[in-house]
Amino acid sequence: RNGMGLRPLGTSAAEFEQDLLSNLYYRRGTTVESASTQDAYETLALTVRDRLAERRVRTAAAHYAANPRWVYYLSAEYLLGKQLEQNMLYSGTDRIARVAMKQLGLDPDEVEGLDIEPGLGNGGLGRLAACLLDAMATLDIPAVGYGIRYDLGIFKQAFKDGAQVEKPDDWTYQGNPWEFPAPDDQQTVFFYGHTERDENGRTQWIPGEIVLGEPSHMLVPGHGTDTVNIVRLWRARGSESSFDLSRFSAGQYAEAVDEAVHAENISKVLYPDDSTELGRELRLKQQYFLVSCSLRDIIRRFRLRNTDWAEFPKKTVIQLNDTHPTLAIPELMRLLVDEEGLGWDLAWALTKQTFAYTCHTLLPEALETWPVHMFERLLPRHLEIVYEINERFLAEVRDRFPGDVDRLRRMSIIQEEPERRVRMANLAVVGTQAVNGVAELHSQLLAETTLRDFADLWPTKFHNVTNGISPRRFIKLANPTLSSLITEGLGSDAWINDLDQLTGLERLTGDAAFREKWRAVKRANKVRLGLGDPDSLTDVMIKRFHEYKRQQLNLLHIITLYQRIKASPGRAYAPRTVLFAGKAAPAYHAAKHIIRLINAVAAVIDADPAVSPYLKVVFPPNYNVTLGSLIIPAADLSEQISLAGKEASGTGNMKLALNGALTIGTLDGANIEIRDRVGADNFFLFGLDTPAALELRHGGAYQPRAFYEQDEELRSALDAILDGKFLGVGREVAESLLGRDEYLTLADYRSYIDCQEQVEKAWADTEQWTTSSILNTARSGFFSADRTVRDYAAGIWHVSPVQVTR
């Protein structure tokens, strides 16, 4: 029996089979003879989950005993990926579960096929959150992720006549076996209303609306350790009184549930937009909902073992994943000052010590701001607090830079012109003890440009923590055959939790048999993906659609190749499959035009027998973690072609390099660090660097038309679009490039095309390519999320691991 007085769950296939049968019977109320596939799936999930639940209970006990400093990760988005395969691996049940299912006459692939991916995020930021949670658990760091349990995740993308259409993602339609409801920890959240001062001069917020936050959590197991942390997700509910029985009785059914529906809308849908401000008030409401529920929960947890508020920052670090949860800063002030009665100065010192902020962008339009009038209406007390924070902060700036009115205007948390707005990034910098960018270049540019005034004032507050990815998710699970080969080559699988060990592969670059197997694995992964000729160069661009990421540049290369093949049909072209995957924000029309044009070009090439043997464009819809995990292991070439100075970091670039793809890329984001590590010979570099791009863009002299006029191939590619050669689609794309060309696509065209020729030459030399591919994997250890978390732990969080013992 274990410490809980329970019989430990068995580790043999026979015992797992018994538990499957028992769960099928007692928790699904059926037998193996009459079970549906859904019954079998839910039962399998519960049987795996039970193994982790036991570790979870021990983890909670160990954490309680240690009373450690906790990391609370606040994020509006999580892209957790499918849970079943992960949890089978982490619980060590992957093999026995399959044996047991077969014993019961169940088809493991069919059963596992029912596992759903929770799509609670848009892109890089949400997936990063999931990778960091994975690494924190693996490194035994006591941590809780907080987020929103959106009813509808990121939309499902489909194509109609080549254009993106969006369908709702009702991801819990069949239930979610991975979730533990925790109704006892329900929280009450206020909105609207007004403030009053009581007889002691304390401020009281009299709310205009009250909503309930219902938590549930999913397990976040560590790999190779007994630690199981949690991610706690909040769902909005109307209060008991929100159902109007008298209206219902009078037949006014819609009106009767009006208030409840209104409340529940808060966690109804993830906003499918990660760069521009949409959804407005409801989005702000979501942010406060997340923050309010999470902070109360954090305080509840603190109080389990502590009484003295001075201890709070010693026991708590709250990492803000971008500005979305920044309202946590005024909310903690409100709780400490209004509810706990602390003086402002003490409350502010505690608050600042508690928070840290990660910025994920350089695009000014992606820095959130909220209209003051909206903020005031929804959160009247918080606006008062923000004003007070701002007044004291500006006094500090005035002291340091007397007479510098412009600086005050730029740094103020309140923007005055053209409209009064609350600047969330400024609030996040002012209210935290550490601010970090997510790649070296990004952190440098943040301090030199976007947040320069703040870096002048507080230089030591600014840090870099280069992003990382979970090796468990993005090589062990995604690429099992490569993982086996690496384990065979290195003689152990210890590299999975110590990715630097991959450097041991370098000595295998001289081993002919290993090289042969390396190529065979890549080929098999292309066959598994099933899109295009497995012997072709598989050229992959997988990411959100955004003009700064420049899918349009890739497209111009495809059109140029197409035209070259048409012009000289007799030559021997190396077959190439260009794969795109990614979603565009529904309201981002320019990005949607690019999607439509890619599909049109793909169709025209497919229909042209002179070209299709050499060139194929594929665009599987609905890019998500699951699809990415199939594409990444199959890639030969990774397209990381954003305009220098625009991509904060990128993490797809790391996943692809780790899986042996060579990068064609600009000196942007983490590409620079990837190139530094894998070696310039194993990376195809092109394009303007950041200073050159800034000069060209802001020197005011950039004329995209001049590039069009001078370069015959570029002209011909753009003319083909303008002449309607691709099903008449894409004029908007060409016109935008010839108009402003915000992201200097035409300026980088020639350099990119020439670089793609280098790629082609390199691809023709199979042996050299194989060496580069192995070296990309061997030298990508730095990009493990374990290293990222160690950097956060040492440089920002100052936390230590807590071991979970049996």
Marked catalytic residue, from 59, 138, 225, 651: 651
| Position 650 contacts ligand DL6 (CB under 6 A) | yes
- Cα separation, 421 vs 413, in Å, equals 8
Within positions 432 to 461, which residues make up the interface with ligand DL6, using CB under 6 A?
438
Q: Which stretch binds ligand DL6 (CB under 6 A): 46-54, 124-132, 696-704, 735-743?
A: 124-132
Does the protein bind ligand DL6 through residue 44 (CB under 6 A)? no
User: Does position 128 bind ligand DL6 by CB under 6 A?
Assistant: yes
Cβ atoms of residues 143 and 229 within 8 Å: yes
Q: Which is nearer to ligand DL6, 441 or 802 (CB)?
A: 441
Decide if 360 is catalytic. yes
Tell me how far, at minimum, the Cβ of 585 lies from ligand DL6, in Å: 11
Interface with ligand DL6 by CB under 6 A: which range of 248-256, 595-603, 647-655, 695-703? Answer: 647-655
| Catalytic residue (one of 63, 544, 557, 675) | 544
Q: Is 740 exposed, middle or buried (0-12, 13-18, 19+ CB in 10 A)?
A: exposed
CB of 125 to ligand DL6, least distance (A): 3
Residue 83 or residue 642: which is nearer to ligand DL6 going by CB? 642
* Alpha helices (H) along 458-588: 471, 480-490, 512-529, 551-567
Q: Answer yes or no whether residue 547 interacts with ligand DL6 by CB under 6 A.
A: no
H-type helices in 568-722, by residue range? 589-606, 625-631, 652-658, 671-678, 690-698, 704-710, 712-722
Q: Which of residues 63 and 550 has its CB atom nearest to ligand DL6 in the complex?
A: 550
**Angle CA 638–640–643, to nearest 5:** 165
The residue annotated as part of the active site, out of 301, 324, 334, 543, is: 543
Nearest-approach distance from CB 271 to ligand DL6, in angstroms: 11
User: Tokens for 94?
Assistant: 């992957």
Binding ligand DL6 (rule: CB under 6 A), the pick from 19, 169, 214, 322 is: 322
One of 98, 301, 472, 549 is an active-site residue; which one? 549
Torsion over CA: 524, 530, 534, 540 (sign) = negative
Smallest separation, CB 121 to ligand DL6 (Å): 8
Q: DSSP readout, 39-51?
A: HHHHHHHHHHHHH
In angstroms, the CA 331 to CA 327 distance is 6
| Between 36 and 276, CB nearer to ligand DL6 | 276
Instruction: Write the secondary structure of 164-215 as one string of H (helix), E (strand) and C (coil).
Output: EEEECCCCCCCCCCCEEECHHHCEEEEECCEEEECCCCCEEEECCEEEEEEE
Please count the helices (runs of H) and the strands (runs of E) in the chain: 34, 25
* Residue 668 touches ligand DL6, criterion: CB under 6 A: no
CB of 648 to ligand DL6, least distance (A): 4
Cα–Cα separations (whole angstroms), residue 147 to 176, 481, 598: 16, 34, 35
3 state SS of 228:
strand
By C-alpha distance, which of 670, 425, 653 is closest to 540?
653
Instruction: Kindly state the DSSP code that residue 8 receives in the 8-state scheme.
Output: P
Interface pick for ligand DL6 out of 19, 647, 673, 786 (rule CB under 6 A): 647
Count Cβ atoms below 10 Å from residue 71 Cβ, excluding itself.
25
Of 652 and 730, which CB lies nearer to ligand DL6 in the complex structure?
A: 652
566 catalytic residue (yes or no): no
Question: What is the closest distance, in whole angstroms, from the C-beta atom of residue 92 to ligand DL6 in the complex?
Answer: 30
| Cβ neighbours of residue 132 closer than 8 Å, sequence gap 6 or more | 73, 785, 788, 789, 792
| Contact call for residue 291 and ligand DL6 (CB under 6 A) | no
Q: At closest approach, how far in Å is the CB of 630 from ligand DL6?
A: 21
User: CB nearest ligand DL6: which residue?
Assistant: 124
Residue 468 in the binding site for ligand DL6 (CB under 6 A): no
E-assigned strand segments in 363-499: 369-371, 414-415, 421-423, 434-437, 462-464
The answer to whether 285 and 378 are in contact (CB under 8 A) is yes
The catalytically annotated residue of 296, 334, 360, 550 is: 360
Minimum separation from the CB atom of position 760 to ligand DL6 (A): 28
Q: Rule CB under 6 A: say whether 651 interacts with ligand DL6.
A: yes
* DSSP per position, 63-112: HHHH--PEEEEE-S-EE---SHHHHHHHTT-HHHHHHHHHHTT--HHHHH
Q: In terms of CB distance, is 546 or 592 closer to ligand DL6?
A: 546
Counting contacts by CB under 6 A, is residue 541 touching ligand DL6? no
User: Segment near ligand DL6 (CB under 6 A), from 18-26, 119-127, 473-481, 584-592?
Assistant: 119-127
CB nearer to ligand DL6: pick between 561 and 658: 658
585 binds ligand DL6 (CB under 6 A): no
Closest to ligand DL6 by CB, 414 or 438? 438
Distances (CA, A) of 732 to 23, 234, 550, 617, 639: 57, 41, 15, 21, 23
Q: What is the C-alpha separation between 460 and 387, in angstroms, rounded? A: 25
Contact (Cβ atoms closer than 8 angstroms) between residue 555 and residue 745? no
Which of these, 635, 685, 680, lies nearest to 659 by C-alpha position? Answer: 635
Does the annotation mark 549 as catalytic? Answer: yes
Candidates 81, 124, 193, 380; binder of ligand DL6 (CB under 6 A) is 124
Instruction: Select the span of 13-21, 118-126, 348-356, 590-598 touching ligand DL6 (CB under 6 A).
Output: 118-126
What is the smallest separation between the CB atom of 468 and ligand DL6, expressed in angstroms? 10
Mark the segment that binds ligand DL6 (CB under 6 A) among 122-130, 348-356, 514-522, 710-718: 122-130
- Give the span between the Cα atoms of 733 and 718, in whole angstroms: 9
> How many residues of this chain interact with ligand DL6, rule: CB under 6 A?
17
Least distance (Å) from ligand DL6 to the CB of residue 78?
A: 12
Q: Which of 216, 467, 538, 736 touches ligand DL6 (CB under 6 A)?
A: 467
- Least spacing, CB of residue 368 vs ligand DL6, in Å: 8
Q: Residues, the chain, total?
A: 806
Half-sphere exposure of residue 253: CA atoms within 13 angstroms, side-chain side: 0
Interface of this chain with ligand DL6, residues 336 to 365, rule: CB under 6 A = 360-361
Give the number of other Cβ atoms within 10 Å of residue 805's Cβ: 8
Residue closer to ligand DL6 (CB basis): 39 or 647: 647
Binding-site member from 85, 274, 331, 338 for ligand DL6 (CB under 6 A): 274
Annotated catalytic residues are 360, 543-544, 549, 651, 655
- List interacting residues with ligand DL6 (CB under 6 A): 123-125, 128, 274, 322, 360-361, 366, 438, 467, 647-651, 669
